[in-house]
Structure 1
Amino acid sequence: MATTFEFRVRHAEPVYARQAAQAAFAEIDRLETLLSRFHEGSDIWRINHAATGEHVVISEECHACLLQALQLHEFTGGAFDITIGAAADLVKSAGKNRVVPEPDALQDILDQRAASTIALSPGNFVVEVTQPGASLDLGAIGKGFALDAAAALLREWEIENALLSAGGSSILAMGAESDAPGTGGWPVNLLGETRSAPLVLHDYALGASGTGEQGNHIIDPRRRSQAYAHIRAWALAPAAAAADALSTAWMTMNRDEIAGVVAGLAPGHAAMVENPDGSLHLCNRTGVWARLEPGAHPVRA
């Protein structure tokens, strides 16, 4: 998943907490072998290399992740899309060389992707490649999916309080940092390009996307462009996979589009964006955007 995972586990017995964390890290490593398109022999690698008409048997975990990705694709009107891995490679390669990708090259890859078809059965762990050309990439949901799996394993260990992070852009909070009155969760910072804002998470996930670290690496598959409505975006959700994916989608969606998606999601979802002028704005299920003023009390989720 090409990122660093960090876990803070709170438990009365430190040795037990370390053992639980090690088990969670092992689960992350196991999922990497199933979900990474760069890991030869993984489920995603085999789908991307399958021939026309081939049926690829996949793991239960990969099946669950693909179903979530499909649902989020539909919820966002196609703004979130895991089938554009080849286009993402072109964009990232150009970014590393500090050049803009050739428009025709990007359009050719997106045309090939548009003509590709894979079939996923909700009830069977099989993917059928009916038309090749898709390049599945779970990078925008895989980190969050892995954090959700790690949290589930920690709960099996009866760990109630932990803060799980994947590269700082995907965060999942379980319980609270301490039992002190008024703590209420785990304090984190929304780090924007020009300012930050305090946030307290309790049994919630936060996903972040932007251009500050990786440049213009996000593609809008609907408009076939790299035009962004914001300079940074965050998604709050009960699960890290959804927060991870939605924050990516928010980057290419305008505020009206985001508000419509948030209003249609289950309770507990919200969006935050940073505008080019540095202002931060929050939208919950009411569909109303509120500006977060500097020095305001922490947002609690």
Structure 2
Amino acid sequence: MLQLQHKAMATVFEIRSTGEDPHLLRQAARAAFDVIDRLEHMLSRYIENSDISRINHLAAGESALVGYETMQCLQLAQLLYAETGGAFDVSIGTGFTNLELVPEESRVVARADDVRLDLGAIGKGYAVDRMADVLEDWDVSRVLIQAGASSVLALDPSDHEDGWPLTLSEPGQDGLVLVRLSVRQYALGASGIRKGDHIVNGLEGTPVRSRSAAWVSAPRHVLADLGRRAGVEASAAAVADALSTAFMISPVEEIEACCRSHDGLEAWILADTFQHFPANLQSE
């Protein structure tokens, strides 16, 4: 197996491949990693003059022009904010509804002062999706793409395998495997609080403490179909990334409803107990 890595967005992006030509894979990977670096300079709130940094400095009534990818991320975040009843909120509790998106003008308008955005819970997944676009443009498809421990997109396995093996493990205890999966053309998103209070319940403004981890997985086409409702193509990893964050907060009933309404989507929640929300396979 060939593994190629690149550091960006405060994590490590990795491409794993079996069965692809190594020279072609390295060329394609360089192109994909270049895309990540470009996205980081647009989406990071920590980089001065990035699109997100400029939005975060808007006063009420002011607007900022943003790049195509930034607008796509924001449109997807807006859709998932509504889809999850506000559980997924990139505004760090300052009110995503205080921003107006004007896609046809590539413009974001602030309706209030001090709106703050952080795309950390969707940006890495979005970058993984864009990496997949680049690799497939190079006719490289027998790969698994991963961003840290939060976002995974499995394309095709090698000719000798049925799927890519993945495991869900208890945070901080990689040896304690909770679930084993074998997937192809699948996205997996994961969220947890192992590193501290980095997930905030935007509905209450308090850190998440009642759940240790959440995972969301679904066929690539299912999550991409959800993203298309926001006008965003090929967004499976981004949607899985965002939903895993939302499910750290969402009531059990809402998680069940989400899994029922999207064929093939399933979730796992680790709290005092480990709970599986199985996929609705009715139409598959």
Query: Please, what TM-score do these two structures have when normalized by structure 1?
Result: 0.79
Count of aligned pairs between the two proteins = 254
Distance 2:270 2:96 in 1: 35
Distance 1:69 1:115 in 2: 9
Q: What residue number does 1:284 align with?
A: 279
Distance 1:41 1:116 in 2: 23
Q: What residue number does 2:259 align with?
A: 262
Distance 1:286 1:17, change over 3 A: closer
2:240 paired residue among 243, 251, 254: 243
Match runs of 1:217-256 below 5 Å: 217-237=198-218, 238=220, 239-256=236-253
Q: What residue number does 2:132 align with?
A: 151
Q: What residue number does 1:179 align with?
A: 159
**Aligned partner letter, 2:73:** C
Give me the identity figure in percent. Answer: 41
Instruction: State whether structure 2 residue 74 is matched by structure 1 residue 73.
Output: no
Q: What residue number does 1:31 align with?
A: 39
Which has the larger share of strand?
Answer: 2
Alpha-carbon RMSD: 2.0
1:118 paired residue among 95, 99, 107: 99
Distance 2:254 2:25 in 1: 42
Distance 1:116 1:257 in 2: 21
Shift of 1:66: 0.5
* Structure 1: segments with no counterpart, 5+ residues: 85-109, 288-301
Moved more, 186-195 or 35-44: 186-195
Distance 1:55 1:200 in 2: 46
**Aligned partner letter, 1:159:** V
Distance 2:89 2:96 in 1: 14
Larger radius of gyration, structure 1 or 2?
1
Distance 1:14 1:79 in 2: 42
* Structure 2: segments with no counterpart, 5+ residues: 1-8, 221-235
Q: Deviations over 1:113-134 (max 9, x none)?
A: 2497211024331101121211
Query: Please, what TM-score do these two structures have when normalized by structure 2?
Result: 0.83
Shift of 1:280: 4.5
Instruction: State whether structure 2 residue 190 is matched by structure 1 residue 208.
Output: yes
Distance 1:12 1:224 in 2: 47
Q: Deviations over 1:129-187 (max 9, x none)?
A: 121211110000000000000001111001111111111221111111x211xx22111
Distance 1:36 1:11, change over 3 A: same
Distance 1:73 1:283 in 2: 23
**Aligned partner letter, 2:280:** R
Q: Secondary structure at the match of 2:79?
A: helix
Q: Secondary structure at the match of 2:206?
A: coil
Q: Secondary structure at the match of 2:187?
A: strand
